[in-house]
Amino acid sequence: MRGELLRQILEGVWQPGERLPSCRKLAADLGSNTNTVNRELQRMATEGIVRSEPRRGTYVTGSSTLSILSAGLRDHVDELARRATSIGMTRDELIVLIDEAYDSARQPAVAFAECNAVDLTRMTELIARATGIDTCPVLIDDLVQADRTTGFDLIVTPLFHIGEVLDVVEDENRVVEMNFVASSETLREIATINADRIVTAVSPTLSGAERTASLVRTVFRGQVEQRVHASGSADFEDIDVMVYVNALQVTPDDLAGPNQVICIDWQLDGRSAEQLRTRVLALNSEPPRRQNAPENLSGAA
């Protein structure tokens, strides 16, 4: 019951400052009784996760993810210290024991899947910088081999590739979507194009071309066209302004044709970063379910 309450708070079912349902309602929803729910809410109040106001109700405080996940840990630490003292263990000996246990704690294996090597490297770095979590880069084409997905606790992918990844990963609960958005520099460059020019969004797939064109239209006032270019020699000389993504995999010679080219630079949405941190922290309290994780599936050095 406690775990379910914490999970719903972490997932934003009740936002910071929002009042929780009554104890009776919570008990009915969680299959418990009002006394148990009330006792757990009082405990969570002492931990700072919620606050109780007489005759008004119980409210979510907006504690950090780490604070919520570590709630109750102090009780275990106190018990450990008492037991160590009772058997004559010194403070330094206890610290050594904790250090050894901490170092051997399970580190979740997380993969990041993307369709092209350039964005794969760039986005992996963005995730590490924003979350402090190292991910194993893997090209989406490699996920077709099912045995290459079983080595990971989580498989992270951009939101616009979620369908492709779910097609090859049986357990959808292991897939985490990340929202990457065009950087402000990219949007500014597109927004400042003269409205009398024609912008062409080019992608190797129809859905990609439509998505890129929609992005351009959010900031560009002029005419926007779209073109699908899958493979082979590129002929872009008839294009005035070309906007593309790295999945297009064009050469410098290909880009010599248009009068102006803009490659979309992605940045990671902060809310997605926090959600990934939450998922990885939660994994630390679960038993491992992966096999040995491959070191690198991208083929990149």
Q: Are residues 161 and 53 in the same domain?
A: no
How far apart are alpha carbons 225 and 128 in whole angstroms? 35
Tell whether the torsion through CA atoms of 205, 208, 212 and 213 is positive or negative: positive
Q: Are residues 192 and 259 in the same domain?
A: yes
Q: Are residues 235 and 257 in the same domain?
A: yes
Per-residue pLDDT band for 300 (boundaries 50, 70, 90) equals: very low
| Phi-psi label, residue 17: left if phi above 0, alpha if psi -120 to 50, beta otherwise | left
Asked if residue 295 is part of any domain, the answer here is no
In degrees and rounded to multiples of 5, residue 114 shows phi and psi of -145, 160
Name residues whose C-beta falls within 8 Å of residue 128's C-beta, 6 or more positions apart in sequence: 134, 135
Encode pLDDT of 54-63 as tens digits.
888 899 887 6
Angle at 181 between CA 157 and CA 127, to 5 degrees: 50
**Whole-number mean pLDDT of the chain?**
83
Q: Are residues 175 and 275 in the same domain?
A: yes
Encode pLDDT of 161-217 as tens digits.
999 899 888 788 889 999 999 999 999 999 999 999 999 999 988 988 999 999 999
Spatial contact of 112 and 135, defined as CB atoms under 8 Å apart: yes
State residue 149's pLDDT score: 64
Asked if residue 152 is part of any domain, the answer here is yes
Per-residue pLDDT band for 281 (boundaries 50, 70, 90) equals: confident
Among residues 177, 123, 175, 168, which one has the least CA distance to residue 146? 168
Asked if residue 274 is part of any domain, the answer here is yes
Question: CA of 60: how far to CAs of 20, 64, 145, in Å?
Answer: 7, 11, 44
Q: Are residues 12 and 155 in the same domain?
A: no
Q: Are residues 25 and 94 in the same domain?
A: no
Asked if residue 299 is part of any domain, the answer here is no
Pairing of strands 110-114, 50-53: unpaired
Among the ranges given (74-78, 204-208, 275-279), the one the predictor scored with the smallest mean pLDDT: 74-78
- Burial environment of residue 113 by CB neighbours within 10 A (0 to 12, 13 to 18, 19 or more): buried
DSSP string spanning 134-147? --EEEEGGGGGSGG
Q: Are residues 33 and 64 in the same domain?
A: yes
Asked whether residue 129 carries a pLDDT value surpassing 50, the answer given is: yes
Asked if residue 7 is part of any domain, the answer here is yes
State residue 299's pLDDT score: 46
- Which of 20-24, 141-145, 147-151 reaches the highest mean pLDDT? 20-24
- Token pair of 189 as six digits: 């460059």
Q: Are residues 131 and 170 in the same domain?
A: yes
DSSP string spanning 65-85? HHHHHTTTHHHHHHHHHHHHH
Q: How many CA atoms lie within 13 Å of 110's alpha carbon, on the beta-carbon side?
A: 24
CATH number for the domain harbouring residue 171 = 3.40.50
Q: Are residues 195 and 213 in the same domain?
A: yes
Q: Are residues 144 and 278 in the same domain?
A: yes
For the chain, percent of residues with pLDDT exceeding 70: 83
Q: Are residues 171 and 273 in the same domain?
A: yes
- Burial environment of residue 225 by CB neighbours within 10 A (0 to 12, 13 to 18, 19 or more): middle
Asked if residue 25 is part of any domain, the answer here is yes
State residue 147's pLDDT score: 55
> What's the average model confidence in pLDDT over 23-38?
88
Q: Are residues 192 and 166 in the same domain?
A: no
In degrees and rounded to multiples of 5, residue 75 shows phi and psi of -60, -40
Per-residue pLDDT band for 301 (boundaries 50, 70, 90) equals: very low
- Burial environment of residue 124 by CB neighbours within 10 A (0 to 12, 13 to 18, 19 or more): buried
Angle at 271 between CA 5 and CA 278, to 5 degrees: 40
Asked whether residue 283 carries a pLDDT value surpassing 60, the answer given is: yes
CATH number for the domain harbouring residue 52 = 1.10.10.10
Q: Give the residue numbers spanning the domain of 196.
A: 184-264
CATH number for the domain harbouring residue 251 = 3.40.1010
Asked if residue 291 is part of any domain, the answer here is no
- Token pair of 14 as six digits: 């009740």
| Ranges assigned E (strand) in the chain | 50-53, 57-60, 110-114, 136-139, 154-158, 175-178, 180-182, 198-203, 223-228, 241-244, 260-263, 266-268
Report how many domains make up the chain.
4
In degrees and rounded to multiples of 5, residue 63 shows phi and psi of -60, 155
Asked if residue 289 is part of any domain, the answer here is no
> Amino acid identity, residue 159?
L
Asked whether residue 67 carries a pLDDT value surpassing 50, the answer given is: yes
